């Protein structure tokens, strides 16, 4: 009852008045349905305003009428024998085969004549036929909404008419058969078995998005939407080379398809081809300047390139187009955080969480902001919220450990560090922080072991080399301390803690030698 195509409901009720109710034809049959006619009119007006109606210039009446005739026959064929089904059937270059339209038109005329001949003896066939023809009128394509030639979902209501014809009509036609019961039993069993097999085959194509879109590409021509969707799924699976092939095909069919340009940009970005990705995002924006997704995607690439100010401008444009775009608020928070604009970053992370409260990463980033402001209690609260949403979030465990350590809760901190490492064994920062915890506890050998793990997984980790030097210095192993301070300075010559501590270690060495 919630489908707008049921604007035909009052006409369907009139058909049911005729059969099976066999109500006398009186004016009250129409007047009692006036509320339904009013609802139908209102629904039609609303639908025409909220849906994208294709103009006559893009699809002239001749094409629409021809497609409607073909669709009527195709819907019957797919209902009787469901094959080559797809989520989207595109117009093939805006043209239809004239021979197919003529054949479909003749088939409809012949079927209508047969129905009218059988109407007196088998009224169910007539009512079912007009049910089918009538309920498809709003979605048959005369008023074209969207770019599809037809859609299987449109047959949910109209196919009831075809099933009425079968349920009552076949039974009626079989009445003259001598062995009627045997015929119906055998034929019904065979049909159910055949449909069971076909259904199991069709269901296999709906196992996941990739299978569904591959099937759609195989059974339709020039299906730019399905090529685009398949490319998007393959990108998310990391199969970027194949994704780009399908996205290229989508853009060949429809060069001004903004979604395909967006997804092509994402695939290229995954391959590290940032400049090529930017070109596709910019093309999407030339086609549709207010495309929030394109602004967001372009902003993300610019953010990764360190162009924070430019990224922020695109994120703001995205929010102008879609103020409740949660991912943009989150990305804008990241950009503002990179510029040190803490309060503004907090505002946009909070907005992101207002719209999508289950964003663990936003809670984690808010915790990190609190740490930067030395608000460790608040940081712990945010990290815990992140872990409630995503218990296996290694970064949140590591960050929570750091905040707890700063609050002096070392044992709790170590538990979260261990949890982080069980999820991410090469997490160098956590090894370093564990080393710090053991260093404060005067457990220098354990601290050294964890610092060594940190530099093993991240050889350019300057802070860990300095911490190693400090641990060796405190344990009196001056030579090893000096080596690690020097390694830190080799990586970053201007790192003051390394140079300062190196001087201390060298002085202690001189004093020891003199002694």
pLDDT of residue 93: 45
DSSP state of 53: B
Q: Quick one: which H or E segment has residue 82?
A: none
- CA–CA distances in Å: residue 429 to residues 66, 268, 448, 455: 66, 30, 14, 9
List alpha helices for 119-257, DSSP H: 123-135, 158-164, 171-173, 180-204, 209-219, 224-236, 240-253
pLDDT of residue 94: 43
pTM: 0.83
Neighbours of 496 (CB within 10 A): 9
The DSSP string of 295-337 is HHHHHHHHHHTT-HHHHHHHHHHHHHH-TT-HHHHHHHHHHHH
> Contact 436/447 with Cβ under 8 angstroms?
yes
- In the predicted model, residues of the chain with pLDDT beneath 50 are 93-94
3-state secondary structure 329-376: HHHHHHHHHHCCCHHHHHHHHHHHHHHCCCCHHHHHHHHHHHHHCCCH
> Contact 510/479 with Cβ under 8 angstroms?
no
Work out the burial of residue 364: count CB atoms within 10 Å of its CB; fewer than 13 is exposed, 13-18 middle, 19 or more buried. buried
Work out the burial of residue 27: count CB atoms within 10 Å of its CB; fewer than 13 is exposed, 13-18 middle, 19 or more buried. exposed
């Amino acid at each position: 009852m919630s489908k707008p195509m049921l604007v035909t409901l009052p006409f369907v009720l009139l058909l049911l008045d005729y059969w099976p109710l066999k109500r006398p034809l009186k004016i009250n049959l129409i007047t009692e349905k006036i509320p339904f006619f009013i609802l139908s009119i209102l629904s039609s007006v609303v639908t025409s305003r909220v849906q994208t109606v294709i103009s006559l210039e893009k699809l002239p009446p001749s094409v629409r009428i021809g497609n409607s005739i073909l669709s009527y026959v195709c819907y019957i064929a797919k209902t009787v024998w469901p094959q080559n089904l797809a989520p989207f059937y595109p117009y093939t270059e805006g043209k239809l085969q004239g021979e197919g339209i003529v054949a479909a038109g003749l088939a409809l005329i012949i079927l209508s004549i047969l129905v009218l001949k059988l109407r007196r003896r088998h009224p169910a066939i007539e009512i079912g036929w007009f049910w089918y023809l009538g309920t498809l009128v709003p979605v048959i394509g005369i008023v074209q909404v969207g770019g599809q030639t037809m859609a299987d979902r449109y047959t949910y209501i109209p196919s009831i008419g075809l099933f009425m014809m079968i349920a009552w009509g076949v039974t009626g036609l079989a009445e003259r058969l001598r062995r009627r019961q045997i015929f119906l039993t055998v034929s019904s069993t065979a049909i159910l078995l055949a449909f069971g097999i076909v259904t199991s085959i069709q269901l296999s194509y709906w196992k996941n998005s990739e299978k569904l879109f591959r099937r759609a590409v195989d059974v339709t021509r020039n299906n730019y939407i399905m090529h685009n969707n398949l490319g998007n799924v393959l990108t998310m699976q990391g199969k970027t080379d194949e994704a780009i092939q399908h996205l290229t095909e989508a853009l060949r069919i429809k060069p001004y398809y903004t979604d395909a340009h967006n997804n092509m940009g994402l695939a290229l970005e995954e391959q590290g081809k940032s400049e090529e990705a930017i070109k596709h995002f910019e093309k999407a924006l030339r086609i549709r300047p207010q495309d929030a997704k394109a602004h967001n995607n372009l902003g993300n690439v610019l953010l990764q390139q360190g162009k924070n100010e430019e990224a922020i401008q695109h994120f703001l444009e995205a929010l102008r187009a879609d103020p409740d775009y949660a991912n943009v608020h989150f990305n804008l928070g990241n950009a503002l955080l990179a510029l040190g604009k803490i309060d503004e970053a907090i505002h946009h992370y909070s907005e992101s969480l207002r719209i999508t409260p289950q964003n663990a990463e936003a809670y984690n980033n808010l915790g990190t902001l609190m740490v930067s402001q030395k608000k460790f209690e608040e940081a712990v609260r945010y990290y815990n919220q992140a872990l409630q949403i995503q218990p296996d979030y290694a970064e949140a465990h590591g960050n929570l450990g750091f905040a707890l350590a700063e609050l002096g809760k070392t044992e709790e901190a170590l538990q979260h560090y261990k949890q982080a490492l069980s999820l991410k064994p090469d997490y160098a920062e956590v090894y370093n922080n564990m080393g710090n915890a053991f260093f404060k506890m005067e457990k220098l050998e354990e601290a050294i072991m964890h610092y060594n793990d940190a530099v093993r997984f991240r050889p350019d980790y300057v802070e860990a080399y300095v911490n190693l030097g400090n641990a060796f210095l405190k344990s009196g192993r001056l030579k090893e301390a000096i080596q690690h301070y020097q390694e830190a300075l080799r990586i970053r010559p201007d790192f003051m803690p390394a140079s300062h501590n190196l001087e201390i270690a060298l002085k202690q060495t001189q004093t020891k030698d003199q002694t």
